[in-house]
Structure 1
């Protein structure tokens, strides 16, 4: 819940408004978290059983599942590619780790949308040479 509160992108939904896709950020979203037990032993089968499509019109493009397996337990976090990249995953996992250890996190000055906007409008003309 704290991770979702902290990062707007985890409360994002995409809606079609007047034939245009628009991003909306919900103020409060419950985590999509489930704890399950499986008899599967092959890790690829466990991963496959976890994967399912996202509904982009619903807020939170992240799912978390804690799976008790016969040999070991797994924590799966699945995010839709529209809300993050490799660096974002690193930040999310770092924040989750800090929250798990009951550490306080500094207030965010920027959100993913700020980074995305910067990427779209940066001047790359000097790199063409």
Structure 2
């Protein structure tokens, strides 16, 4: 099987003003899989959206998550609060979405006395 076959990604690509030989070279520079490069070409026809990320993984510098406060303590993001309380980010988001402040307070109290959140 030849690597110059259409769809194998062996061509010359331009991404962010740089030339790359092959989808693998673009993928390495972008920090993604070669299949992701080919997906962008098939789906969008170019590589302009490659590396943007999904859902804010590549946020602009200086942009932070939503500030949260609980019982007089303040964190710059839900993830920072979760880390400090010893719970997962997913659990913290779930508590907040459900309006379950008691679960967060329980985790905060457990952290303050050196216990494990229930």
TM-score after normalising by structure 1: 0.26
Task: Select the structure of larger CA radius of gyration.
Answer: 2
User: As a proportion of its length, which structure holds more strand?
Assistant: 1
User: As a proportion of its length, which structure holds more helix?
Assistant: 2
The higher-RCO structure (CA 8 Å, 6+ apart) is 1
